[in-house]
Structure 1
Amino acid sequence: MNQQTSDWNENTGSHIKIAYAGVDFKDLVTSGLSNFNVTYNDSIAQLDEYLGNQSILSVPDIILIEVDTEGKCFQLVQEIKKSFLLNGSIIVLLSTHADKELKKKALQLRVHDFYSLPFSIDDLRERLNFLVTFKLIKPRLLELSKEVDTTYKMPFGKRIIDLVISGSMLFFLSPVCLVVAILIKLDSKGPVFYKSKRVGTGYKVFDFYKFRSMRTDADQLLAKLSTENNQYASEDGAPKAAFVKIKNDPRITKLGNFLRNSSLDELPQLFNILIGDMSVVGNRPLPVYEAEMLTSNEWSMRFLGPAGLTGLWQISKRGKEDMSERERKKLDNFYAQKYSIWLDLRIIIGTVPALFQKEKV
């Protein structure tokens, strides 16, 4: 076994441990990740043996693996995911060439990132630092709400407005909700409501409700579509996009198109507002896989404001294909810093015409 360990961080004597397998990127990793404690293995078999010898005190924070032609890297990832000792480690794959099928397979295995040439070692180093700093692994995501430096406390006036609006709308729109529920049952097989885990204010995870507008296998198809048809997708070699928005989403049912274009699918979120998970106005709560990508100091600010049903993004750019990922992040950050009762009222007024615009993305 050809292993060597580097611990060259002169400032902190880094305790971030990487277990690495491969030879193609070894020189790049050695020079570019010098602030990490890296244990090198020339092959996946050697890495497997190395991991098998670790204890709870020596388990690596990051497992960095080069993609091999035989697919042994994916077999190892599956074994790691099943391991009680290793399933909390961050897993990142490196490939010598861009291949959508390889990337799709990696995403289906829920690795934390996938890089293919050409990529910047600086981007990789920054990404690894963020993942370790915030421990953005699903079993640990709940801990983030205790780690953020600033917490959001709902202003009394804003909460009163939320209760009045959500309570009155649920009362007056209950007949509409009943009709929508019946139509969903007649249109396609499956439940009336769609429930998913979302990350809101201060990285708080809660159950998020919508009327179902997609096929029942929509979540299973997401990994493939997010790499092939994502509005925010980065070009090959660039870091993975934080947001996922599918263009002309094939998972949406016939009735679902109408529900989305009229925003009727959002009505169950009035219940989320009523119980305090969300506000009427705020930044949209994100799926866990999107929240995991927004961990830098620049973009985590969006989680320090209220999570909401509508916001600046919805009234300014919703449904337009020319919206970049950075534009959306900046709108979220702006609201987190500048939110007020008066800004909320302006957004609520602007939401009315936005409800009925045709959404193609």
Structure 2
Amino acid sequence: MKNPYEELEQRRAFVPNLAYCGQKYVDELQHLLERDFDLNFLASTDALKIHLEHCSIITSPEIIIMEVDEERAVFPLINAIRTNPLTSGSVIILIADKKDAGLKARSLKAKVNDFYVCPFDKAELMERLKFLIKFKLIKPDIKKLIPNTVQEYKIPPAKRLFDVFFSALAVLLLLPVFLLIAICIKLESKGPVFYKSKRAGTGYRIFDFYKFRSMAVGADAKLKDLAKTSNQYAGTEASANEPLAFVKIKNDPRVTKVGNFIRNTSLDELPQLFNVLKGDMSIVGNRPLPLYEAEQLTSNLWSMRFLGPAGITGLWQITKRGKSEMSDEERKGLDNFYAQHSSVWIDLKILLKTFPALLQKEKV
């Protein structure tokens, strides 16, 4: 049985500072917020600005909740918060009186962490705050301070045993293919054979993700501009006023000739067998995401995809990969479905359907 005094000391060790700006919903939220946060209530954006100017590195708020005022004065203040090294990492939540797609789009563009429209579920807001504390603020041992915040996926022993056996056998059998691809990559362009990037997998755990290099060296620097004009997930009605979570470039000009072949045959994915051996991923699961994509998926609705295993192949690959009509929401829906319903039988079905899906019809 846990010592109640020990738990009390743990809570005292770190209580997040929360600054609340506004007056309309203070009475509704105060009794909920004061249980887990050190609160400061500010009546206006001017009052919040003065408060932040007098904060130190110890007293600056980890979380800032602001009611959107009619003059939209919150946005210049948000910009000041994000450009101040002392507060740039603070979690910012906005609360609005009514639905407004333009206001929500502006909020997301301003790098607000979440946007709520009244009336909203107060319990959901509290769960969201706990989630953001754990994954955005990255405080030590925060899980012990606020229990039952986020579920964690633990790979079943049978699945892990299969992953190790399958990946080890595949590496041994495919060694000649590895060697041939490496030679072709080196002959065509200068640079390393393997491409390594940071990815967020199960439970947002970050690890080094391996692929055969399929692009010219320096391709990452060109991604931002290409994402504005050639993103496969752009153009859907649902994403018209919101930043897209996924980026996939159509007819990517950064891809080399060898890279084009190994991408269309999915041979560029083979080095991920080493990720499986290391325990970073499973053979079947949701794709681990680049960090800039994972940052867009921290809401209660879409973070569910991270509660399942990360994998080389999954529902996305066998049902939608290579189809230009795939929307951002469809992709996230497939990931959520697998996280909720993953099983040995579903994994076997996905594996059997993976091989026909390896040859893509489109250059994406």
Alignment match, 1:25: none
Q: Secondary structure at the match of 2:360?
A: coil
What amino acid is the match of 1:86?
T
Instruction: Specify the alignment match of 2:337 in structure 1.
Output: 334
Cα distance, 1:190–1:140 mapped onto 2, change above 3 Å: farther
* 2:87 corresponding residue in structure 1: 86
Please report the RMSD computed on the Cα atoms of aligned residues, expressed in angstroms: 4.0
Pairing of 1:236-247 with structure 2 (within 5 A): 238-247=241-250
SS in 2 for 1:12: helix
- Distance (whole Å) between structure 2 residues aligned to residue 251 and residue 143 of structure 1: 40
326-335 or 262-271: bigger deviation: 326-335
Task: Tell me what 1:297 maps to.
Answer: 300
CA distance in 2, matches of 1:91, 1:355: 42
2:215 is matched with 214
2:128 and 2:299 in contact (8 A); partners too: no
Deviations 1:257-286 (A, max 9, x none): 111101111011000001111100011111
2:29 equivalent in structure 1: 12
1:193 aligns with 2:210: no
Give, as a single letter, the amino acid of the residue that structure 1 aligns with 2:168. G
Counterpart residue number, 1:354: 357
- 1:135 paired residue number: 132
Deviations 1:77-133 (A, max 9, x none): 8853xx2x223124799xxxx9xxxx9xx98xxx63699xxxx9749x99xx69855
Q: Is this contact kept in 2: 1:144–1:202, CA < 8 A?
A: no
Q: Which residue number in structure 1 is paired with residue 321 of structure 2? A: 318
What residue ranges of structure 1 are gaps of 5+ in the alignment? 17-35, 66-71
Deviations 1:33-90 (A, max 9, x none): xxx9674259xxx96x87543323144635999xxxxxx999968853xx2x223124
The residue aligned with 1:278 is 281
Instruction: Please name the residue that 1:228 is paired with.
Output: 229
Q: Would you say the 8 A contact 2:285–2:310 is kept in 1?
A: yes
Instruction: Percent identity, please.
Output: 51
Q: How many Å separate the matches in 2 of 1:248 and 1:261?
A: 12
Contact 2:163 2:277 in 1 (8 A): yes
Q: Would the aligned equivalents of 2:285 and 2:338 in 1 still touch at CA under 8 Å?
A: yes
**Structure 2: runs of 5 or more not aligned:** 1-19, 35-40, 69-75, 95-101
Deviation at 1:251, TM superposition (A): 2.1
Matched position secondary structure for 1:208: strand
Contact 1:313/1:328, CA 8 A, preserved across alignment = yes
Partner of 1:135, secondary structure, is: helix
163 and 186 in structure 1: CA distance in 2 versus 1, 3 angstrom threshold: same
Q: Helix, strand or coil: the match of 1:195?
A: strand
- Secondary structure, counterpart of 1:280 in structure 2: strand
Alignment: residue pair count: 310
**Residues of 1 paired with 2:152 and 2:116: CA distance?**
33
Q: Aligned in 2, Cα 1:276/1:37: closer, same or farther, shift over 3 Å?
A: farther
Residues 91 and 179 (structure 1), Cα distance of their counterparts in 2 relative to 1, 3 Å cut: farther
CA distance in structure 2 between the partners assigned to 1:305 and 1:191 by the alignment: 32
SS in 2 for 1:11: helix
The answer as to whether partners of 1:151 and 1:304 remain within 8 angstroms in 2 is yes
Name the TM-score, length of structure 2 as normaliser. Answer: 0.71
* Matched residue SS, 2:292: helix
| SS state at 2:259 partner | helix
Deviation at 1:142, TM superposition (A): 8.7
TM-score, normalised to structure 1, is 0.72
Superposition misfits of 4+ residues, deviation over 6 angstroms: 72-75, 136-139, 142-145
SS in 1 for 2:26: coil
Change in 2 beyond 3 A, CA 1:177/1:304: same
Partner of 1:263: 266
> How far apart in 1 are the matches of 2:354 and 2:324?
19
The alpha carbon displacement at 1:317 in A equals: 0.6
Structure 1 match to 2:45:
40
Go from structure 1 to structure 2 and tell me whether the alpha carbon gap of 1:266 and 1:276 turns closer, same or farther (over 3 Å shift): same
Tell me the distance in 1 between the aligned counterparts of 2:133 and 2:249: 24
Q: The residue matched to 2:209 in structure 1 has which SS? A: strand
State the Cα distance separating 1:203 from its structure 2 match.
1.6
Q: What residue in structure 2 maps to residue 112 of structure 1?
A: 111
The offset of 1:145, in angstroms, is 10
Cα distance in 1 between the residues matched to 2:328 and 2:353: 22
How far apart, CA to CA, are the structure 2 residues paired with 1:37 and 1:15? Answer: 14
